[in-house]
Amino acid sequence: MTEPIIRVTDIAWGRIRSPDLDVQEEFLTDFGMVRAERTNNALYMRGTDPDHHIHVTELGEPGFISLAFNAASEEDLHKLAAEAETATEVQDIDEPGGGKRVTITEPNGYGIEVVWGIEQHAPLEVDRHPYNLSNVDKFARSGELWRKPQGPSHPKRIGHGVIGTPKLRESINWVRHHIGLVGTDEVYVEGDEEKVVASFNRIDAGSKFVDHHVFLFVHNENAGLNHISYEVPDFDDVVMGHEHLMAAEKYTHVWGLGRHVLGSQIYDYWKDPWDRVHEHWCDSDVLNADYGTKLVAAEEGFGSQWGEPAPMEFIGHVSP
């Protein structure tokens, strides 16, 4: 296998378009994000971690634009610009948060922004109780009652993006060559290991442990965004967010609560007002190079350890 052009260090944000920034901001606020900045033409939302923003909405007809990933250095941006066939030049980002960017176009026509030098905020403090877990510390919360006010969840950071594609193998090879992701689990149709229908990919950080996946391609007759995913502090925060969005009585719940098999996250999925799916999750598997890449049958990999089965509305969903 040839060396990738560069190896990115993490996912940075997802970028979509919406015809009404007020409505989009209302959903994302109920989802638990906080406005970082807003211009006449775009909305930038952050989580509780220091990242300047983890979600960008541009004003316009509903659509999915791109996913952004952090480069290891400015030098890597110049390397990507020189060697990737669809790359822009290295550009100063004329948006809140600043920094520099190279944009490349993946096989389905969507942008992959590779960015460096984005400003950061001070983290937002989130008061979460420790758990009295008998196998860890039964007395972690000694004398302290578990009482939390109702309200939205507290997304920390963006965790991963998922794109549907009719060009699955081409897309997988492309993302590994251009930004250096490595395969975690390849999901195949049982009885035919050559027929891969989904590919979970993680950051290549060698011996350092990283999330089970940061990017997932799933086979679909149509290309588009399946979902964007955000980590929250703990199980109770996932449930709290679920209850808050349900109480609003204006958003569509897609799937959850449950615990995935691949990645093991406790999950909950919701649609925004233009049907883009956003996920809350906590407690992912973290892996390093020792894990390698596994082949997993679809009947096992797409299941839940507990919770309802994945609805077809989710499995086949793409937002162009």
Give the pLDDT confidence score for residue 301 in this predicted structure: 87
Give the pLDDT confidence score for residue 193 in this predicted structure: 75
The CATH number of the domain covering residues in 10-120+154-315: 3.10.180.10
Distance CA 265, CA 269 (A): 12
- Which two three-digit tokens encode residue 2? 């040839």
| Cα distances (Å, whole numbers) of residue 179 to 5, 122, 309 | 6, 28, 33
How confident is the chain (320 residues) per 10-residue block, as mean pLDDT? 93 98 98 98 98 98 98 98 97 98 98 98 94 93 89 98 98 98 95 88 98 97 98 97 98 97 98 98 98 94 91 92
- Smallest Cα–Cα separation from 97: which of 27, 137, 33, 42? 42
Q: DSSP for the chain?
A: -PPPS----EEEEEEEEES-HHHHHHHHHHHT-EEEEE-SSEEEEE-SSSBS-SEEEEESSSEEEEEEEE-S-HHHHHHHHHH-TTPPPPEE--STT--EEEEEE-TTS-EEEEEE---BPPPPP---PPP-BTTTBTTTTTT-------------EEEEEEEEES-HHHHHHHHHHHH--EEEEEEEETTEEEEEEEEEEE---TTS-EES-SEEEEE-SS-EEEEEEEE-SSHHHHHHHHHHHHHHTSSEEEEEEEEESSS--EEEEEE-TTS-EEEEEE---EE-GGG--EEEEHHHHTSEEEEPPPPHHHHT--B-
Domain boundaries, the chain: 10-120+154-315
Give the pLDDT confidence score for residue 8 in this predicted structure: 98
pTM of the model: 0.96
Give the pLDDT confidence score for residue 284 in this predicted structure: 98
Strand 277-282 versus strand 224-231 pairing type: parallel
